[in-house]
Amino acid sequence: MNDFEYRDGVLHAENVSVADLAQRYGTPCYIYSRAGLTRQFRAFDEALSGIDHRVCFAVKANSNLAVLQVLARLGAGFDIVSGGELQRVLRAGGDPAKVVFSGVGKTRAEMQLALEAGIDCFNVESSFELHQLNEVAQRMGVRAPIALRVNPDVDPKTHPYISTGLKKNKFGVAIAEAESLYLEAATMAGIRIKGVASHIGSQLLDIAPLLDALDRVLALVDRLAARGIGLVHIDCGGGLGVRYKDEVAPDPADWAAAVKDRLRGRALRVITEPGRAISGNAGVLVTRVLGLKGGQSKAFAVVDAAMNDLLRPTLYQAWMEIVPVTPRSDVPACNVDVVGPVCETGDWLGQDRLLALKPGDLLAVRTAGAYGFVMASNYNTRARPVELLVDGDHVHVARARESFDDLIRGENLLP
């Protein structure tokens, strides 16, 4: 099911015309579907039914407060990678006892903030982090709950920028070194061992690497048990991919069935951290065509959205589907590069797209609900877009468009 469908020749977000939203709120704008977020969260939650589990949405995929609130009300946990993301979760009504804190560079201040909030677990990614966390916890008179994020050296077969489970990646503790670090952690007065974690990458289209990693981590669990270290949970990470073009995205139910099979007979809670797989297809970026420009060897559709609004295409050379909000039949389609106003040749949203366009037309970039607005910037002193959350017939302004005063807040002229 797609929550962005054509009705009477116009793209709709649930029951609301995208053209009407663009007219009312301006462009560029991000539009999210509450129904889409709900359905995808429940796909994971229901797939893991029958075993002790927790679905922790990866906040880095989409950190809008209203989006997090939708998920918190569904009972979601959250995977965070910064103190700021923790504060967003708390502001959105998320339960800190359902939060796992990942990331290779947690500061002492972030550690203290998370301990004060009472999060479920720190996914510790290095020996130095373990020692720092132990010191912070002892100073506060508490014990920090931890899992070691182990690096299983499994190739996820994805874009190198979002591969996280190989020896050459910065993430996690090498699985060959994890056992000795667990034994050291067991002696620390400020540490309480809870589990083990692994995350090998993002936009995975095959569950085989995930299961390979799981098998390696379970072997570690058994070795730890033999040394007297029992764990209460296993964090399988996230990373299931979505369809951008013609990919066949893994079904959460297939992944969950394989996980359940491997965990049969083990008293371990399963934690998973989907981000893109929950929010990706629940959002679009809408932009207006400013004009059409033909060169000797290339034609361009210049739009009002740019790489500062949506970085994925130029950063990852990512293909994202671009469709007209109101398809035309009165002009011929031609191949164009869809480009923005930013002063960079790399400022493009799509290349060689067959589109029938006139100036003023609206385009929608699909699957923009993950790693869209969260990666936006103010490059070229451009205001970040408005974010809208559609719920049936209702439209909620989840984040207002920035003003110029927003852009210069905190800056000061010389006396």
Name the pairing type of β-strands 386-391 and 394-399. antiparallel
Separation CA 114–CA 124 (nearest Å):
13
**56, 121, 236, 343: the active-site residue:** 343
Element (H, E) at 138: helix 127-140
3-state DSSP call for residue 309?
A: coil
82 and 101 Cβ atoms separated by less than 8 Å: no
Name the pairing type of β-strands 283-294 and 269-272. unpaired
**CA-based angle 236:53:79, to the nearest 5?**
55
Separation CA 303–CA 385 (nearest Å):
14
For the chain, what percentages of helix, strand and coil (3-state, to nearest 5) are there?
35, 25, 40
Active site residue 343: yes
Separation CA 157–CA 154 (nearest Å):
9
Rg (CA), the chain: 23
Separation CA 98–CA 61 (nearest Å):
18
As a whole number of angstroms, the longest Cα–Cα distance in the chain is 74
Distances (CA, A) of 232 to 80, 160, 259, 408: 20, 32, 16, 48
Long-range contact list for 329-334, CB < 8 A, 24+ apart?
329/356, 330/356, 331/356, 331/357, 331/358, 332/356, 334/299
Q: Which residues are catalytic?
A: 343
